[in-house]
A and B are shown apart, each in its own frame.
Chain A
C-alpha cells in the first residue's frame, strides 16, 4: 500500500463531510473515487494534500504518517494534485507553469543567481529540458511559450497535470480530469494518463463522474455517499451495485 487512510473523519462545524473512512491504494494502481456531488471526494483530496486537517484518523503515505505535515512538505514527499476548476498561473507561459513545479529540483541559491554563476544556468537549462520532455509527452510542446490563459480547456487540463508531474510525484491525485471535455478529448487524455503512469511509475487516485472513463481507467473504485463508503471494488461491479445505483438515482423503494 502506498497510501492508506485509516478511520478518517472530517467535520466542518456540525456537518460530517467524511465519516470513518478506511481504504488503501496499492502502488501502481489507478484508483477511482466516485460518488454524487457533495459526497466528500474533494474534501478527501484536501486531507491527503494537507490543506485540511482531519478531525480523526490517520493518513499514511509510503509508511509515513502525514498528520501535521504542511502542504508544501507533503508535495516534496511525493504527492501532487490537480484541481476540479483549473488553477493555472494565468498570464505566465505554459513552460513557466511547468517550471514552477521544478522549483526544488533546481539546485541553486539566491547568491548563485545574482552573480550569474554557472550553476544557475546549468540548473535552469536542466529543468527547462525536463519540462519540455513532460510537455512533449502531453503533445503540447509547441505551446510552451503560449500564455496559459489563452489555451483551450482541454490543453489547460493537460498543462495542469504536466505541472503536477513536474514536482516528481509518486502519487498523483486528479480531481475530475475529464470534466468539461468532449469524448475525443477524454479519450486522448485517458491514453496520456495511462502512458505517463507507466513511464513515471505513478500511482493515481482520481475523482471522476464520467463512468465510461472510470470503467476504462480504474483498477478499483471507492464509492462515497454523504461521506460514507458504500462500495469498494471493480468499477464494472460498482455500476450494478444496488446501493451505488440508489445513491446516484435515488432509492425508489423507500422514496
Chain B
C-alpha cells in the first residue's frame, strides 16, 4: 500500500471517528447526570438528519436547514426528558432504561409511519460534496470539514463544562441531585440543558452522516447509535474526553478493517464490538472511566 492511500484512509478514520464522537458525547453527558443509557439518542440523531432533509425539500437553504435540524433535535431531546424521563426521576434505574428503549421504538416508528421506510437521498451543497485531489490523495471535502467542526464543538463543550456555572452545575449533578438543589439551582433546568447539548451534537453528527453516506431512513440511528454507545463505553461512560477517544478508536478500527483487510470488510461492525469487548475485559470502566461515584467530565 502506498503512502497516499494510507493518508487517505487515516483521514477517513478521523472523519468517521469524529462523527461517532459527536454522538457519543450525548450518551456520556446524560449518563453522567442521570445514570441513564439514553437509547433514544441515536434516534434523536435521525430526527436531526430528517428535519434537515425535510427543510431542504421545502426549499430552505442547507445552512438554515442545519440550524432548524439542531433546534428540532434539541426540542425532541428536551421533550423526551420532560415527558418520559422526568416522571421517573425517583424510580428504579431499570424503569428509565426500558422507557428509553420505548422512546427509541416510538421515534423510529413515528418517522416510519409519517415518511415511510424507504431510504431517501440526502442532498448537500456542492462545496461540501466536492472531491479534493492532492498529491494522489482523493478525499471529499466533508471528511476534512467534519473533524474541524467536531473540534470546534468539542472545544465549546469542554469550555461550558469546565469554565461556566452551567458546566459546574452539570458536573455537580453527577454526584448528588438533592444537594445541587440546596445550592439554589433548579436541577430540572440543568438536566434540560444536558439533553439540549447532547441532542444538538447528535443532530450535527446525524447531518454529517447523511452528507457522507448520502441517504437517510428512519432506522439510520439504530446502528450508528449503537456504535456511538459502544464508543462511549469504550472511552469510559460519563467522561466527555473518553467518548471522543472511544469514537476515534471505533472510527479507525472500522476504516482499518475495510481498507487493509478488504475481505473482512463485511465484518467491520463486528470488529468494532470485538474491540469493545477486549477493552472491557481488561478495563471494565473503559479507557478514561473511573469508579462510578466520581465525576468524569
Contact = CB atoms under 8 A, between A and B. Distances in A.
Interface string A18-52: 00000000000000000000000000000001010
A76 B163 contact: no
A90 B168 CA distance: 12
A91 B165 contact: no
A124 interface: yes
A244 B164 CA distance: 50
A72 B190 CA distance: 12
Nearest to B156: A114
Interface in A153-205: 163-164, 166-167
B185 A90 contact: no
A136 B59 CA distance: 61
A76 B184 CA distance: 6
Contacts of A83: 179
Contacts of A57: none
Interface string B231-273: 0000000000000000000000000000000000000000000
A99 interface: yes
A72 B184 contact: yes
B186 interface: yes
Interface residues of A, number: 35
Contact of B182 (A80, A108, A113): A80
Contacts of B185: 72, 100, 103-104
Nearest to A91: B294
Contact of B184 (A87, A99, A114, A167): A167
A81 B165 contact: no
B165 A89 contact: no
Contacts of B182: 49, 71-72, 75, 80-81, 164
A113 B183 contact: no
A61 interface: no
B172 interface: yes
A90 B294 CA distance: 7
B240 to A, nearest CB: 15
Contacts of B193: 110
Interface in B156-178: 156, 159-160, 163-166, 168-169, 171-172, 175-176, 178
A220 interface: no
B183 A92 contact: no
A89 B181 contact: no
Contact of B165 (A51, A71, A103): A103
B165 A90 contact: no
A114 B160 contact: yes
A84 B163 CA distance: 30
Contacts of B293: 90
Contact of B180 (A96, A100, A124, A164): A100
A165 to B, nearest CB: 11
A101 B181 CA distance: 10
B165 A102 contact: yes
A10 interface: no
Which residue among B180, B182, B293, B295 has the maximum number of chain A CB atoms within 10 Å of its CB? B182
A91 B160 contact: no
Contact of B186 (A72, A108, A114, A120): A72
A75 B184 contact: yes
Nearest to A51: B178
A49 B183 CA distance: 11
A100 B294 contact: no
Contacts of A102: 165
B203 to A, nearest CB: 16
A100 B156 contact: no
Interface string A58-80: 00000000000011110110001
B204 to A, nearest CB: 15
A-B interface, 5 closest residue pairs, ranked by CB to CB distance from nearest = A75-B184, A71-B181, A72-B181, A113-B164, A89-B172
10 contacts: A49-B182, A51-B178, A73-B184, A83-B179, A90-B175, A90-B293, A96-B168, A100-B169, A100-B185, A127-B165
Given A71-B178, A114-B156, 20 more contacts: A72-B181, A72-B182, A75-B182, A87-B176, A89-B171, A89-B172, A90-B295, A91-B294, A92-B171, A100-B168, A100-B180, A100-B183, A102-B165, A103-B168, A103-B169, A104-B184, A113-B164, A124-B163, A124-B165, A167-B184
